[in-house]
Chain A
Amino acid sequence: MTALAADVRVPARGVDASLEVAPGRTLVLLGPNGSGKSTALEAVAGIVPGAAVTLDGAAAPRAARDRRIGLLSQDDALFPAMSVRDNVAFGPRSRGVARAEARAEADAWLARVGLSGLGDRRPRELSGGQARRVAIARALAARPRVLLLDEPFAGLDVGAASTVRGLVAGLLSGVTAIVTTHDALDAHALADDVAVMEAGRIVEAGPAAEVLARPRTAFAARMAARVLLEGTMRGGALELSGGTRVPVTGGPGAGARAAIALRPAAVTVSLGDAPRSPALVWIADEVAGLEPRGDEVRVQGTVCAADVDPAVAGALAARAPVWFGVPRGEAAYALTG
């Protein structure tokens, strides 16, 4: 198992980030589309210039072919003129393994990704999920020291994505890997460590439990699918900038900056003079935006946010006054230091 450290500077694409992965761990690089995640991976793999990479403390070779860092790209990039088996055997063959042996290795990898018997197919005869799995097998068959997966579940239909999710989760144990995603769910499922990327820079990094459960910036909280309420500790409560006091548990001493991170689904929305449950703390806010997310609608306020039923969201418009109901007793954590 290999330790990876990389300083990535690709000014042309606005990327300036340092990444570190301990041996056998999975770093999830979490950021929105266009934040530079793919560029960072391409630079680490050596196919885009701009990364100073060390593997186990030694400088990695300059040429991609000598780096032994595997890259699974979003477009799969299977070789169309070769059979599926020869695609997977490409890495071993490039290393000088004899044809028969390389093909046997390829078949073993195809079996591991659940595609036994498809070796003779051409890439164009595969479904999207099958092609992604072949690309994963091809990357692993080259025996990389570090594996980079760029949005491994993007562009797949729901069923295929779920198959590939299960497969990747199993294959990553004991492999030093970086996985990019814009999906908090994947970060929760795969990450040992998380680095949050915003506009080409790492804004937060650390163990997954820390970064995902205790985000320090609104941006990181949004990427982790959390709502961040920031304030100052005042006698067992978090006082928000608007003056609202939210009773919390734990947290630093009085006067210190602190925050709680809530699931948007745990926040309730109330309108106008409708009766509001005294069990919750109510924050007066206004609607900054509405974004559909599957079965629910994210009501984004200027301070708080909530996921609500589309029937409720239908009554809301931008800039409309709204109450956000927040549960009492959430765990607070210090923001400074």
Chain B
Amino acid sequence: MTGPRWLAPLAALGGLLVALPLVGLIARVPWSRFVALVTSEDALTALGLSLRTSLAATVLTVTLGVPLGFALRALTGALRGVVRALVLAPLVLPPVVGGLALLYAFGRRGLLGETVGGSLAFTTAAVVIAQTFVAMPFMVVSVESALAATTGRREAIAATLGASPTRVLARVTLPTLAPALATGAVLAFARALGEFGATLTFAGSLAGVTRTAPLDIYLLRETDPEAAAALSLVLVAVAIGVVALAYRPVRSAS
């Protein structure tokens, strides 16, 4: 399926729109200082923090997003549409708005009060919460659409063979969902790694605690643009690498 010929120039234009900025970034990288820049203490701290928080957010996304996907599938009619829109909101919300909302819920003066809010504010945990908030929709969508493609037939037969609901989930349902889980996890990880607005608003920018790589890049942009470009390239490489290695579009379950 290649479509009519006039699609080609538009495709080329689209490709350029994505590729040119990357080329521009690469052109700015000071190759002679590259290694020194990305291995500076400041850069390594930010990159390490980004990696740790993104992995933690991915784990949380799987732990909470998969049950959410099941719950969504269990709803019927208009209710499912409403709940789905709510759960997916962080996907389309401006990250700053998401950050503000998180602040009003889990912040020092948030809904949960001083005790919870005070212990969370400006901590690494707050970073993970912000990242999970923005990344979870990828997992929920992925699981829900994979579940929609299954008939529940194998699960029913597994029950007649004497399997408990937990055993059916672990041995029959989750293995069929594995590709969808992998896709959701990869997208969630990539999204968490790139998180900026919600983190800055909710968790602040404390070196070594909440200043992830994107935040560091934003600060360096003023003081050391070349370092910002070098660090950016690392993020680009990680993001492209992860997606290329692990992202497979979800196919309908056989």
- In the complex, A78→B161 CA distance in Å? 12
Interface check B149, CB cutoff 8 A: no
- The yes or no answer to B83 lying at the interface (CB within 8 A) is no
Q: How far is the CA of A91 from the CA of B156 in the complex (A)?
A: 13
Does A75 sit within 8 A of B, measured CB to CB? yes
Q: Which residues of B contact A77 (CB under 8 A)?
A: 153-154, 156-157
Does B171 touch A at the CB level, under 8 Å? yes
Residues of A within 8 A of B156 (CB): 42, 47, 64, 77
Q: Which residue of A lies closest to B154 (CB)?
A: A77
State the majority secondary structure of interface residues on B.
helix
Across the two chains, which residue of chain B brings its CB closest to A138? B161
Question: Of the candidates B153, B161, B162, B167, which one forms a contact with A75 in the assembled complex, judged by CB atoms under 8 Å apart?
Answer: B153
Q: A191 CA to B162 CA in the complex, in Å?
A: 27
B159 within 8 A of A: yes
Across-interface contacts of B163 in A (CB, < 8 A): 65, 90, 94
Known A-B contacts A79-B171, A79-B172; A71 and B157 likewise in contact (beta carbons under 8 Å) = yes
Using known A-B contacts A64-B156, A77-B153, determine if residue A91 contacts B171 with beta carbons closer than 8 Å.
Answer: no
Bound CA–CA A124/B254 (angstroms) = 10
Find out whether the CB atom of B160 lies under 8 angstroms from the CB atom of A69: yes
Chain B residue nearest to A47 in the complex (CB): B156
**Residue B175 interfacial (CB < 8 Å):** yes
Cβ of B145 within 8 Å of any chain A Cβ, yes or no, is no
Q: Say whether B160 contacts A79, CB under 8 Å.
A: no
Contacts of B254 in A (CB 8 A): 80, 124
In the complex, whether B205 has a CB less than 8 A from a CB of chain A is no
Q: Is the CB of B154 within 8 A of A142?
A: no
User: B161 contacts which of A63, A82, A94 (Cβ < 8 Å)?
Assistant: A94
Q: How far is the CA of A178 from the CA of B254 in the complex (A)?
A: 29
- Of the four ranges (under 10, 10 to 19, 20 to 34, 35 or more), the interface on chain A belongs to 20 to 34
Is A228's CB within 8 Å of the partner chain B?
no
Q: Are A81 and B160 in contact (CB under 8 A)?
A: no
- What bracket does the count of chain B residues touching chain A fall in? 10 to 19
**How far apart are the CA atoms of A65 and B167 in the complex, in Å?**
11
Complexed CA–CA distance, A139 and B156 (Å): 13
The 8 A CB mask of A187-225 against B (1 = contact, 0 = none) is 000000000000000000000000000000000000000
Q: What CA separation (Å) do A142 and B162 show in the bound complex?
A: 8
Among B151-189, those with CB < 8 Å from A are 153-154, 156-164, 167, 171-172, 175-176, 178
From B165, which residue of chain A is reached at the shortest CB distance? Answer: A65
Q: Is the pair B158, A73 in contact by a Cβ cutoff of 8 Å?
A: no
Which residues of chain B are near A91, meaning CB under 8 Å? 161-162
Complex Cα spacing A91 to B161, Å: 5
In chain B, residues 68-110, which have Cβ atoms closer than 8 Å to a Cβ of chain A?
none
- Residues 53-82 of A, flagged 1 when their CB comes within 8 A of B and 0 if not, give 000000000011111111101010111111
B interface residues with partner A (beta carbon < 8 Å): 153-154, 156-164, 167, 171-172, 175-176, 178, 254
Q: What are 19 pairs between A and B in contact, CB < 8 Å?
A: A42-B156, A46-B160, A47-B159, A63-B159, A65-B164, A71-B157, A73-B153, A73-B157, A75-B153, A77-B157, A78-B154, A79-B175, A80-B175, A80-B176, A80-B254, A81-B176, A91-B161, A94-B158, A94-B163
Leading 8 A-B pairs by shortest Cβ distance: A81-B175, A47-B156, A94-B162, A91-B161, A64-B159, A94-B163, A77-B157, A142-B161
